[in-house]
Amino acid sequence: MKYIVVGSSHFGYEAVETILEAEPEAEIHLFEREDKASFMSCGAQSYLMNIAKSPDELHYANEESYKKQGINIHLNSEVVGVNADKNTVIVKTDNGEREEKYDRLLLSPGGYAPKLNIPGNDLEHVYTFRGRNDAEMVKARMEDAKKVVVIGGGYIGVEVAEAYRENGQDVTLIDAVDRFLPSYLDEEFYPSLSKEAEEKGLKVQTNELVQEIKGENGEIQAVVTDQAEYEADTVIMAVGVKPDTSWLANSLELDEAGFVVVNDYLETSAKNVYAGGDATLIPFKATGKKQNIALATNARKQGVTAAKNAMGEKVEMPVVNGTSGLAFFDLKFATTGLNNANLKNYDGNIKTFYTEERVRPSFMRDGDIKVEMKLFYDSETEVILGAQFLSTGDITQAANTLSLAISNEMTLSDLGEADFFFQPGFSRPWNFLNVLALKAQGKTFGSTEMLF
């Protein structure tokens, strides 16, 4: 059996490793359009902040490691077409194009970071931030940049803005909506985020539409919005990711947004062709519907699922909760399941509850950590559907706990009575997750609030 896997990122990596484990003698060909394989883009901020000393550290596999496993790795080889009737792909290299035959094809077209279609988007030192090449250019620019404007307040924009600010640059973050990180944290958390940005010297401009990047002699002078003008010599556009699938339009079924249509088994509209990664939609537990949830964890699960099905099993892609977390200067936050950004997709009636709690007993004066929490649950069944957490302490694992609760359709009562350990250095006799659920039910009592 000959397997062709396109894309060596999370989906492709898991696909080839899954096939190799089950069928050691299989003929596996892995095609990667870049000159290096398996770059972890979600670790790129660590390179900007000198945690990772080289981008080479952010590759979880490379040409040598794949070859040692007996995988035929093809770098600088872009798959630009699929002929499902002939079971072939068209591969483009520096030497031209050729056809390659497959028995099973596993595609991870991925996405691309678009630039805003505005005057000045082609000036020098206007960057996007996706992949190794972008990471190296944005990192190199940190030596000379003085005034930086980051357009877009999602994960990527916030990460780049923080990295440049920590490096000493004057940084302005601009977003078109009323706050940054709106897809991850609801309005209740924004005062803490905004305060943290202000204290760290990160300028934030919201509800502004960028209209132009002014330049002179090819160099950036300013970023112009519908409300103001901001001096700049460097611009990073972080305005989302779009599926890189136009080359598949005549081969596979795509939806209106360009995502590859797959069924529960990650089968595409073409026989023996499977797809996953950022160019596909993911089944979301809380709503029972598919949506765009571009996370490495999801792509990894898809890689395993697609590989198993390509080998003849019948395995459904697991439903997910979109669990993610991030540090923002001295704050840490994590989220899972429903929030205000995706609430419209839920068919039932929702209740929410927000509160702030102490993580440890008050006498732990060297670590009196508070946590902001918000819970989403069905108003009739009290089944938990989503949660968000923010703190100066690392409470991010709470989102993983709540993700498990969502997956198992636990109720407020289940969480309120859940068995968590107690040690003063780590927690309270009533864990903050117990208290969150009990408060949501209106069932708190003296011992949950007095002293501890």
Instruction: Tell me which DSSP letter residue 228 carries.
Output: -
Active-site residue, from 29, 42, 74, 125: 42
Tokens 């765009």 found at:
292
**d(Cα 213, Cα 220) in Å, to the nearest integer?**
7
Active-site residue, from 10, 59, 74, 125: 10
State yes or no: is 125 an active-site residue. Answer: no
Query: What is each CA distance from 187 to 182, 270, 326, 328, 384, in whole angstroms?
Result: 8, 43, 17, 16, 20
- Residue 226: CA count within 13 A, CB half-sphere: 7
CA 84 vs. chain centroid, Å, equals 31
Starting at the earlier edge strand, list the strands of the sheet with 384-391. 324-328, 331-337, 384-391, 370-378, 350-358
Tokens 């993983």 found at:
400
Q: Which of 203, 54, 238 is nearest to 139 (CA)?
A: 54
Residues in CB range of 268: below 8 A, 6 or more apart: 107, 252, 253, 260, 261, 262, 274, 275
**d(Cα 360, Cα 337) in Å, to the nearest integer?**
26
Query: What is each CA distance from 432 to 225, 280, 379, 404, 415, in whole angstroms?
Result: 43, 36, 22, 16, 10
Residues in CB range of 404: below 8 A, 6 or more apart: none
Residue 11 in tokens: 């989906």
Burial class (CB in 10 A: 0-12, 13-18, 19+), 51: exposed
**d(Cα 259, Cα 110) in Å, to the nearest integer?**
10
Pairing of strands 350-358, 370-378: antiparallel
Q: Which of 245, 253, 223, 216 is nearest to 109 (CA)?
A: 245
Q: What are phi and psi of 390, to 5 degrees?
A: -145, 135
User: Would you please indicate which residues are annotated as catalytic (active-site) residues?
Assistant: 10, 42
